[in-house]
Structure 1
Amino acid sequence: MNNKKFIVVEGIDGAGKSTICNYIIKLLNNSNIKNIVKTHEPGGTPIAEKLRNIIKFSKGEIFSYKTELLLIYAARLQLLDNVIRKNIHINWILSDRYDLSTFAYQIGGRNINKKIILFLQNFINNNIKPDIVIYLDVNPIIALQRIKFKIYDRIEKESINFFSKVRSYYLKIANKNKNIKIVNANNNLKNVKLSVKKIIYKLISS
């Protein structure tokens, strides 16, 4: 197929992004779309994965929000230059998180000035936008309940209040952008998948 698309799945930790990404691949394969590059943020390249590990699991010293932000953009630049730019015209790309996460977590959650985010976006020449973003909206209490049996990383250990602010910022942006599709991820998985299926099949036929 010639209409290659860039799909992003977003949501707070525990929203079910990994499950839905795997389901989207199944839907694409069922539609005879095999040329799919699946990635995630932060990460997606060897260097970016090392930065991901620092961001998520560093211990032993105070971790500045500004340090976190700069590492996220360093990892994104590696992903952009080594994966996304090389595949955007020849393969379908599916990413678990992209730049919307930065706006929600860093501006909404960390209260970092939006001008700094926009400066970094411009600095790394991040001019590639997804064709569609599927935002899995879920109550933070429900989301954290879903992942309570795993070992929390540094960000997952944040408070309910933090994730509530992140969610609010996600919704603030999503409600203004027609390319961001909000899916109620408080529902059971069957209903979430049904909503995602409708979105993906509409995208394929466009």
Structure 2
Amino acid sequence: MVGLFITMEGPDGAGKTSVIKELLPRLQAKTTKNIISTREPGGSNIAESIRGIILDVNHQEMDVRTEAILYAAARRQHLTDIVLPTLANEDMIFCDRFVDSSVAYQGVARGIGVEEIRQLNQFATAGLRPDITLYLDVPSEVGLERIYKARGERQFDRLDQEGLAFHQKVRQGYLALVAEEKERFIVVDATAPIEEVVEKCYNSIVEKFPQFFDK
């Protein structure tokens, strides 16, 4: 048996952080495997330093290709530091964002191109793919409203400052990915109460990978 690689994706304001906080203790209680929670960009020392450069609100002049390359660099370091060792140990890793985010944000919303971003990240990840991806879907208007309401409670970063049109493109990018890879993605309506969102995520993972949840 190898480890289990789970990712969670969604537009800004989808509520990923809140869902992860509720979901992971439930999953951990159901398994004897360790579940490592991590995030992108970031997750390890060097990758977190790169995250700070990417999301700094003072870096408005950052070129879009520079942005994409920095995401890929942070991703590679995070993989070597955290993800690959966890999988090699036959444990589970739950990652808040992965390559799909780069495709949606940089490939589609920034206009770099989906294939260009895929090629860049193929090099960065050596082809590693999640076993399952939970996609929390939320209309862009709702997501932005949530972001602005939570400004005092969460980091308000450079990408949060983008306008509605940008975030609509991000969502369109995600929905295109979901349509393309229906077997990997689990789509969850993130406008539902958090209890329902967590329940669907939990059931989807446990039912798809019963060999990991034997308690």
TM-score category by the smaller chain?
over 0.9
Using the alignment, how far apart are the partners of 1:125 and 1:92 within structure 2? 18
Report the residue type matching 1:32 in the other structure: T
The 1:145–1:125 alpha-carbon spacing in structure 2 relative to 1, beyond 3 Å, is closer
Using the alignment, how far apart are the partners of 2:16 and 2:52 within structure 1? 19
Alignment of 1:179-198 (within 5 A): 179-198=184-203
For 2:134, the equivalent position in structure 1 comes to: 134
The 1:89–1:109 alpha-carbon spacing in structure 2 relative to 1, beyond 3 Å, is same
The 1:60–1:73 alpha-carbon spacing in structure 2 relative to 1, beyond 3 Å, is closer
| Bigger mean CA offset, 39-48 vs 196-205 | 196-205
Report the residue type matching 1:176 in the other structure: E
Structure 2 SS opposite 1:147: helix
Structure 1 SS opposite 2:209: helix
For 2:166, the equivalent position in structure 1 comes to: 162
Alignment of 1:83-94 (within 5 A): 83-90=82-89, 91-94=91-94
Structure 2 SS opposite 1:74: helix
Residues 98-140 of structure 1: CA deviation (Å, up to 9, x unaligned): 0000001111210102332133123324321111000000011
Structure 2 SS opposite 1:88: helix
Using the alignment, how far apart are the partners of 1:183 and 1:114 within structure 2? 23
How many residues matched? 205
Report the residue type matching 1:114 in the other structure: V
Using the alignment, how far apart are the partners of 2:206 and 2:174 within structure 1? 24
**Which ranges of structure 1 fall in alignment gaps of 5 or more residues?**
none
| Bigger mean CA offset, 92-101 vs 175-184 | 175-184
**Which ranges of structure 2 fall in alignment gaps of 5 or more residues?**
none
Using the alignment, how far apart are the partners of 1:79 and 1:59 within structure 2? 24
Shift of 1:171: 0.7
Structure 2 SS opposite 1:67: helix
Moved over 6 A (4+): none
Q: Do the aligned partners of 2:3 and 2:86 also contact (CA within 8 Å) in 1?
A: no
Using the alignment, how far apart are the partners of 1:95 and 1:60 within structure 2? 26
State the Cα RMSD in Å.
1.7
TM-score (norm 1): 0.92
Using the alignment, how far apart are the partners of 1:23 and 1:203 within structure 2? 19
For 1:29, the equivalent position in structure 2 comes to: 28
For 2:11, the equivalent position in structure 1 comes to: 12
Structure 2 SS opposite 1:124: helix
Q: Do the aligned partners of 1:11 and 1:136 also contact (CA within 8 Å) in 2?
A: yes
